[in-house]
Structure 1
Amino acid sequence: MPSAPATPSAPRSAPLTGAEYLAGLRDDREVWLRGERVGDVTVHPAFRGHVRSVASLYDALHDPGRRDELTAPTDTGSGGRTHPFFRVPRSVEDLRGARRAITAWQRLTHGWLGRAPDYKASFLATLGAGPERYGPFADNARTWYARAQEGVLFFAHALVNPPVDRHLPEDVPPAPAVRVVGETDAGVLVSGAKVVATGAAAAQYVFVAHAGPPPTDPDFAVSFVAPVATPGLKVLCRASYELAAAVAGSAFDAPLASRFDENDAVLVFDRALVPWENVLVHRDVRTAGSFLHDSGFLPRFLLHGATRLAVKLDFLSGLLLRAAHVTGGDARPAVRAAAGEVLAWRQTVWAHSLAMVEEARPGPDGAWLPDADTAHAHRVLAGEAYRRVRELIEDALGGALCYVPSHAADFAVPELRPHLDTYLRGSHGTSAVERAKVMKLAWDAVGSEFAGRHALYERQYAGNAAVNRLDAYDHAVGSGLADRLTGEVDAFLTGSRAPGP
């Protein structure tokens, strides 16, 4: 097995611009949708809104007025600047800066891009903190850490094997999963599939790894980076809500789906060549199986997720308050009570984000990791928070979510406009156009197909609910938290004031 270090790339002194990001997507990637190969994702009506939203994030990194908020010096020797979450944090203050930058970037998309480029920094920064865990590929880890940081590269990832043949015993290799099928002097050949690669059509690279129990067959113990345009890689997309909005509606009618639909996809590799310099794990069962809990990825992605969800709940809180005013629901105690609970959930998630940083702990490699106790708590509660907030908004707004004009074009019809202005206006002097704008936004947030996908995402992106709870239990036992808690009870039972016969 070759173990030559990765070929270094020329360091960048600044992150990608929006224009550079878009230009980089015009390559030979195989993105498939509705039975056709997509020619250019930057102009296709199923993807153009999303990629332009991402491009706006890159452009914000070059805004002189946001320099200190969104960027920090690189630690690679490039002399440039980067999004601070892409750097190894060496102190709590470093994590504070990363959290501020995550918040500021998410404000630009109101929390609706779960897989903004800094999400994968949750993993990419760990390559600089602990490259030695990748053994003979440690130099690859160091190189990709520098490349990702200097360019603020956009990675998608896929960690889960396709849910095929789950009825078979666990020691039966998952044949459809990504596996090594050959080796050459140039690299490894891989075939098989991984799910769910959210945003892959709009990403520059995909990261493939293993989540779950260690693989029993070394051929499946592989982890690597691949450009999305890798020959032999197909990106098979789900239906596009952005495309549906473009064909049947407009940005007025689907204000979120038309901008922020991160298409979810299956990655299929067919004897795709992964150069040795892009390999991180090869036939190493232990390292492959310990990715989620030992790499540092888990508490970092939950810090990003909590911060992003908190921004999203800010938006949903404001949307409920605005919609309640438009409908006159703010005159009803039940609606105000629902808003009060939504605001409480919002504050709870912000508290998770804050506690993960302020209670952060140093790791053995000198990097600081977000507090794992809070991370596991958020992983369990985030889906419940989102489900409850969506339910409260639906209850508070009720049928007002349903009776809105069919399309923005209705307002341009002279025969209809007087009726719309009379019968579909809102409370507190709200015009019919403004009421429709608010209620269509509310529907796209909680009632549309786009909204349904987000409800599922918030419940599942951090893992299966039962697994999340089991992991929280195992973490408490393994970290000593369970012993400390039971110790309090034991101290009471054996103390002088303990009850006795």
Structure 2
Amino acid sequence: MNVQASQFIPTNGRGAFRSGADFLANLASTPRSVFVDGERVSDPSEHPAFREAARQIAGLYDFAFAPENLDIMTYVEPETGWRALRCFQIPKTHADLAAKRVAAEKWAEQTFGLMGRTPDHVANFFTGYAAKPSVFAKSGPQYAERVVNFYKHLRDNHLYVAYAIVPPQIDRSKSASKQSEPDLYAGVVREVDGGIIVKGGQQLATGGVFADYLHISSIHPLQPGDEAYAISVAIPMSAPGLKLYSRRAFAQQATNAFDYPLSSRFDETDSFVVLDDVFVPWEHVFIYRDIELCRDQWWKTPSHTYGNHQAQARFATKLRFLLGMAKKMNEATGNDSAPPVMVQMGELAALASIVEGMHQAQEALATFDDEGVLWPSKSMLYAVMALQGEINPRMIDIVRELTGAAMISLPSSVKDFDNPEAAEDIARFYRSSNMSARDRVALMRLAWDFIGTEFGNRHQQYEKFYGGASFIVKMNMFRAYDFKRAGALVDRALTLPPVEGA
């Protein structure tokens, strides 16, 4: 346990809540190595590349622990009698799973679905691990004990864990152990007193800049000989040798919040991880040199389904936001009731409703395994995930068609409103029948930031690969679908009795 996290240990018999101020104070006081624009950043809470996103995350904690939201965003953990964030709840009933969805939606609404790795995402993966300690126990009882204890540490202290679980794109034609250097992929290089040393690179630690811990493992298939890379560990962000290389920080490029209302606030950042001889104590080692368990942590526990159940709540919220923008833009131009526009809006609504309906179907069709653990429906989850990379760009293209030139014929910046001559023309020609010029420009800037800016285009790429490469997600769907039932229908059709006279 790092010193900074200890301030959140429950001490009052009910569980001490983590406020937004607590989160920001911890972020400021926990030194870390983040590199952006050639600069090493130790405190993301005040750096212009990360400051506003950090404040958005702080707002999530304040929202969750506000008295009026407690029953939605938290639950009383039977083991402790304390309140914990709903994302850490191991669902015992279908109603519990639905409650987790509602909490995920409420948090997603605070960021309009634009922050994909909020503290409830990886938390759900560890909740899935803790629901099935028997899977980890196959490698030894100590591994099950460690993963459950770490889950409880996260749960009871309301902590934020991010992950990096994909190897670098150096030479994907070769397995981890056959790369040109043995420590290009994240893996264990040696054992030392009290733990192990890990070294190598890993991607893509979205939100890692703000997290308390980083989970390092591999979701890519490993081959015999790759045992050194078959690990699952948790590393505090202050660990010596842990470095994050942030991609371009869109918030830093946003000149003002009027012209870039989303880029300036909701860039959670993606980071490449470099592990330079990082020490991990044994208590934070959940898988060690076990290829089978490294695979099974995702598929033989409900971790992948819990984590992506949360992710689909965020995606559904984001699509709802997109629909709301499109509707307001149509209303501003006066074509909201035009039949061709209604048809396109109907298609948008249909696509968004498919995502929302499939999300709820994961709960309605959730099943219990032989240990009594509730799993969201895999077929419903992977069906919508398999189509996510096609649904999102289709909806974006429809909105582009609806807006025409409106998003690219805007004034150059908010400063044009300060020029008397320009302001007079803007007020006359940029207004609509029901909106002032400034309000209409603000709406179009919002839409352009969602669709056309670097921030917006990152989101399109992100949604395409959110659940992994499309072939991986479709393989998951192939494994989840009940082909036996489908085939039985064909078998019955092939054995129909003869038709008299035919």
Q: Which of 256, 259, 273 pairs up with 1:253? A: 259
Question: Does the CA-based 8 Å contact 2:92-2:374 persist in structure 1?
Answer: yes
1:230 aligns with 2:235: no
Aligned residues: 485
TM-superposed CA distance for 1:44, in Å, is 0.8
Q: Which of 274, 279, 295 pairs up with 1:289? A: 295
Equivalent residue number for residue 490 of structure 2: 489
Equivalent residue number for residue 207 of structure 1: 215
Cα pair distance change 1:170/1:263, threshold 3 Å: closer
Question: Does the CA-based 8 Å contact 1:493-1:499 persist in structure 2?
Answer: no
Equivalent residue number for residue 90 of structure 2: 88
Share of identical aligned residues, percent? 32
Map residues 95-244 of structure 1 onto 2, 5 A cutoff. 95-134=97-136, 135=140, 136-168=142-174, 172=178, 175=182, 176-216=184-224, 217-244=226-253
Question: Does the CA-based 8 Å contact 2:316-2:352 persist in structure 1?
Answer: yes
Distance in 1, Cα, partners of 2:492 & 2:486: 10
1:201-224 C-alpha deviation (Å, 9 max, x unpaired): 111111111112234321111110
Equivalent residue number for residue 362 of structure 2: 356
Q: Name the SS for the 2:232 alignment partner.
A: strand
Equivalent residue number for residue 23 of structure 2: 21
Distance in 2, Cα, partners of 1:498 & 1:184: 77
Equivalent residue number for residue 442 of structure 1: 447
Query: When the two structures are superposed, what TM-score results if normalisation uses the length of structure 2?
Result: 0.93
1:458 aligns with 2:463: yes
1:179-217 C-alpha deviation (Å, 9 max, x unpaired): 111111221001001111111111111111111223432
1:111-147 C-alpha deviation (Å, 9 max, x unpaired): 1111111111221112321123223222211111111
Q: Name the SS for the 2:135 alignment partner.
A: helix
Equivalent residue number for residue 402 of structure 1: 408
Coordinate RMSD, CA, aligned: 1.9
TM-superposed CA distance for 1:87, in Å, is 1.5
Q: Which of 47, 51, 64 pairs up with 1:48? A: 51
Equivalent residue number for residue 299 of structure 1: 305
Question: Does the CA-based 8 Å contact 2:206-2:268 persist in structure 1?
Answer: yes
1:393-420 C-alpha deviation (Å, 9 max, x unpaired): 0011011010112211211222211011
TM-superposed CA distance for 1:11, in Å, is 4.3
Cα pair distance change 1:286/1:414, threshold 3 Å: same
TM-superposed CA distance for 1:167, in Å, is 3.4
Distance in 2, Cα, partners of 1:48 & 1:499: 78
1:431 aligns with 2:432: no
Distance in 1, Cα, partners of 2:417 & 2:205: 39
Equivalent residue number for residue 72 of structure 1: 75
Query: When the two structures are superposed, what TM-score results if normalisation uses the length of structure 1?
Result: 0.93
Question: Does the CA-based 8 Å contact 2:167-2:186 persist in structure 1?
Answer: yes
Question: Does the CA-based 8 Å contact 1:129-1:365 persist in structure 2?
Answer: no
Question: Does the CA-based 8 Å contact 2:309-2:381 persist in structure 1?
Answer: yes
Distance in 2, Cα, partners of 1:498 & 1:241: 69
Q: Name the SS for the 2:409 alignment partner.
A: coil
Distance in 1, Cα, partners of 2:460 & 2:79: 39
Distance in 2, Cα, partners of 1:70 & 1:325: 34
TM-superposed CA distance for 1:171, in Å, is 6.8
Which stretch has the larger CA shift, 224-233 or 10-19? 10-19
Cα pair distance change 1:498/1:308, threshold 3 Å: farther
TM-superposed CA distance for 1:470, in Å, is 2.1
Q: Name the SS for the 2:405 alignment partner.
A: helix
1:339-381 C-alpha deviation (Å, 9 max, x unpaired): 1111111111110110001111112332211001101101111
Question: Does the CA-based 8 Å contact 1:91-1:367 persist in structure 2?
Answer: no
Equivalent residue number for residue 312 of structure 1: 318
The amino acid that maps onto 2:391 is: A
Question: Does the CA-based 8 Å contact 2:217-2:233 persist in structure 1?
Answer: yes
Distance in 2, Cα, partners of 1:338 & 1:170: 47
Question: Does the CA-based 8 Å contact 2:176-2:229 persist in structure 1?
Answer: no
Q: Which of 452, 468, 472 pairs up with 1:467? A: 472
Distance in 2, Cα, partners of 1:458 & 1:112: 11
Question: Does the CA-based 8 Å contact 1:127-1:144 persist in structure 2?
Answer: no
Name stretches of at least 5 consecutive residues in structure 2 with no aligned partner.
1-5
Cα pair distance change 1:33/1:498, threshold 3 Å: farther
The amino acid that maps onto 2:38 is: G
Cα pair distance change 1:243/1:499, threshold 3 Å: farther
Name stretches of at least 5 consecutive residues in structure 1 with no aligned partner.
1-6
The amino acid that maps onto 1:96 is: A
Distance in 2, Cα, partners of 1:88 & 1:447: 39
Q: Name the SS for the 2:206 alignment partner.
A: coil
Distance in 1, Cα, partners of 2:24 & 2:44: 9
